[in-house]
Amino acid sequence: MIYANFGKITMLALADSVNPCAIAVLTMILVGILIQNPEKKKRVLFAGLAFIASVYIGYLAYGLIIVQFFRTFAEFLRMNSIYIYNGLGIFAMILGALNMKDYFKYEKGGFATEMPMFLRPKVKGVIEKITSPIGAFIIGFVVTLFLLPCTMGPYLIASGLLAELGILGALPWLLYYNLLFVIPMIAIVLLVSFSFRQVEEVSGWQKKNIRRLHLISGILLFLVGLALIAGWL
């Protein structure tokens, strides 16, 4: 059981962690903070980490809510577990296919793979208000709501799979999932804060490789879905 959960949760979290949507939002925040504090790299470091902490806490809360939602229908889940697993597997394969489609035919704001275009000006407006680590932490909770349309798919699948463990049983797995989810964000903040890379370089890299990021995410999601349906995990 532990090995099976480790494989499924790891692959879903890795697929979510390379989501171009989350990386793009973080770079926007770092650019905003740098404009306000061009010579204060410590402030950039603390603000970036504060934002990541709020995303971590926010997503952990969402995960617990989703697990509890599934637990509400525990009896139904037990009686129909094979259908639930197959349904989650099909959902993962569809999300994977949509991400892989973005590699071959990319469109900004793709359905279920990126933040919708109509939300982007709102996010930019919120981000422009960040001037300090405290502000980054507070606004991070708001930004997580905007990130949900493009990041919730893998998380929903993971939380659904963990529901049978209950809140306490699922909590360590959700902590692990979200740690993997934010690792790329932590790496970006450290690279920028210690001047190994300029934030413009990170943003440029993300835009240049956005198709590849979708492809990697798509392959991982599709494999998880296939494994669920085939009973490999």
Does the pLDDT value for residue 118 go beyond 90?
no
- Lowest-pLDDT range of 105-109, 119-123, 218-222: 119-123
> Using one digit for the tens of pLDDT, what is the confidence trace for 167-197?
899 999 999 999 999 998 888 888 877 765 6
Is 112 in contact with 149 (CB distance < 8 Å)? yes
Residue 67, CA distances (Å) to 9, 59, 74, 198, 222 in order: 14, 12, 10, 39, 22
Task: Report the alpha-carbon distance of residue 182 to residue 211 in Å, rounded.
Answer: 20
Task: Report the alpha-carbon distance of residue 224 to residue 233 in Å, rounded.
Answer: 8
Q: Which of 39, 14, 24 is nearest to 120 (CA)?
A: 24
Position with higher pLDDT, 113 vs 52: 52
**The pLDDT of residue 197:** 62
Residue 231, CA distances (Å) to 165, 211, 220, 228 in order: 19, 30, 16, 5
Residues in the chain: 233
Task: Report the alpha-carbon distance of residue 181 to residue 69 in Å, rounded.
Answer: 22
Cα 90 from chain centre: 20
**The pLDDT of residue 171:** 93
Domain ranges for the chain: 2-72+117-207
Sequence-distant (6+) residues with CB within 8 A of 54 are 136, 137, 138, 139, 140, 141, 144
- Lowest-pLDDT range of 10-19, 100-109, 111-120: 111-120
**DSSP for 34-52, written as a single string:** HHH-TT-HHHHHHHHHHHH
Does the pLDDT value for residue 141 go beyond 80?
yes
Position with higher pLDDT, 4 vs 89: 89
Helix extents (H) in the chain:
2-17, 20-36, 41-72, 74-79, 81-104, 120-127, 133-162, 166-193, 199-208, 210-230
pTM for the complete prediction? Answer: 0.82
Sequence-distant (6+) residues with CB within 8 A of 183 are 17
